Amino acid sequence: MSDANPWSVIQFIAEKRIEEAQSKGEFDNLPGRGRPLELEDMSHVPEELRMAYKILRNAGCLPPELAERKEISRLADMLEHCEDEQERVRQMQKLRFMIQRARMRRQRSIQIEQDDPYYARLLERITVLDKRH
């Protein structure tokens, strides 16, 4: 039996086909050409949850932790442009509260309980997807 890596053969074939396509100009007019790739930063999500979060995002569901992070970011942006001093103080208090709550959540394990509103939404989405297939 040969010790050759079967993946090296597949890699060789793939590289050859890519080179052929490049020489034919098949990659010349792709959308986004000349612009940097928009890579998704999921460094804030634990590695074991990244795939699940990606599936949920593609299904249109946003986990509470990410929704909260988005809201914190939105509030911080809004504070930069807020000119009313009283409104700014209110929003800063809200932002401080949300940051504290986010910190507390990170200290506990992430679980979706049955009484969590996100749990019902998730089940609803999964049911809809199952009916389609």
Q: Which residue has the higher pLDDT, 114 or 32?
A: 32
Tally of helices (H runs) and strands (E runs) in the chain:
5, 0
Return the residue matching tokens 């999500």.
Answer: 45
Q: What percent of the chain has pLDDT over 70?
A: 75
> Within 10 Å of residue 133's Cβ, how many Cβ atoms?
4
Q: For residues 113 and 110, what is the distance between their CA atoms, to the nearest angstrom?
A: 10
Give the C-alpha separation, 86 to 30, whole Å: 50
Per the CB < 8 A criterion, the answer to whether 132 and 126 are in contact is no
Q: Buried b / exposed e across 60-70, counting CB within 10 Å, b at 16+? A: ebbbebbebbe
- C-alpha 11/C-alpha 15 separation (Å) is 6
Condensed to tens digits (0 to 9), the pLDDT of residues 75-84 reads: 878 877 778 8
What is the spatial distance between Cα 112 and Cα 47, in angstroms, rounded to a whole number? Answer: 17
Residue 15 pLDDT > 90: yes
Give the pLDDT confidence score for residue 49 in this predicted structure: 82
Band (pLDDT 50/70/90 cuts) for residue 19 is: very high
pLDDT digits (tens, 9 = 90+) for 90-116: 888 888 888 887 777 766 554 556 666
